[in-house]
Amino acid sequence: MLTVLAGSLVLPLLLFGGIFLVVGLNTGSEPGPYTVVFAKPGDECERKGQYLDASTGEPLRCMGPGMISMASIEFPGFSREQNNEVRDWLATLARDGELSVFDHRAVQLRVDEIAAGLPPGTRAERESGTTEIRIGAGLAGTGLLLGSGFAWRWFRNRRAGY
């Protein structure tokens, strides 16, 4: 009876806790709203991030899981002037023919600088997964505590000869 009770309580807690932990830990791994991703035409893209051609700096039309990225440079919360500044910066860097890795970093740095200066209400924040991590840790911790309690009780009953 104790084994059935332990299995019906502990295993679901550990299972769901583990799932929440995995989801929470992987939430922040995708590009953020101000991430500039330099890719090749035909590459897959995520839901967030600005996908640009690695050699020309032109916006890419790319498809990803359940979405199509539009071919424009528009960052959330940026004014028209700020978006134009990023476009002009890319055009200036691409004048010599091809963007280098240093150009990629310079563009990302400029986008980060503009994003950091946005007022708090207009800045889009990256998803962190903190809530899922807390829920997962709570469920898994509860499952481990209950499991160790059941194991302790089982060993105690076994020694006593029940």
What mean pLDDT do residues 18-31 have?
Answer: 72
The pLDDT tens digits for 114-144 are 988 888 877 776 666 677 778 888 888 888 8
Beta strands in 54-90 (DSSP E): 63-64, 67-68
Q: Is the pLDDT of residue 81 over 70?
A: yes
- Whether the pLDDT of residue 29 is over 70: the answer is no
Query: What is the Cα–Cα distance from 25 to 20, expressed in whole angstroms?
Result: 8
pLDDT score, position 19: 85
Look at residue 91 in the predicted model and tell me its pLDDT: 83
Which tokens sit at 74?
């528009």
For the chain, give every domain's residue range.
2-27+129-160, 36-116
Q: In Å, what is the CA distance from 128 to each residue of 31, 131, 141, 149?
A: 11, 8, 21, 33
Q: Is 161 helix (H, G, I), strand (E, B) or coil?
A: coil
- Cα gap 99→107, rounded to integer Å: 10
14 sits in which H/E element: helix 2-27
The pLDDT score that the predictor gives to residue 99 is 82
Rounded (10°) angle between helices 101-116 and 80-94? 170
Residue 142 has phi, psi (to 5 degrees) of -65, -40
Q: What pLDDT sits at residue 70?
A: 59
Contact between 5 and 145 (Cβ < 8 Å): no
Residue 69: the pLDDT is: 55
115, 34 contact by CB (below 8 A)? yes
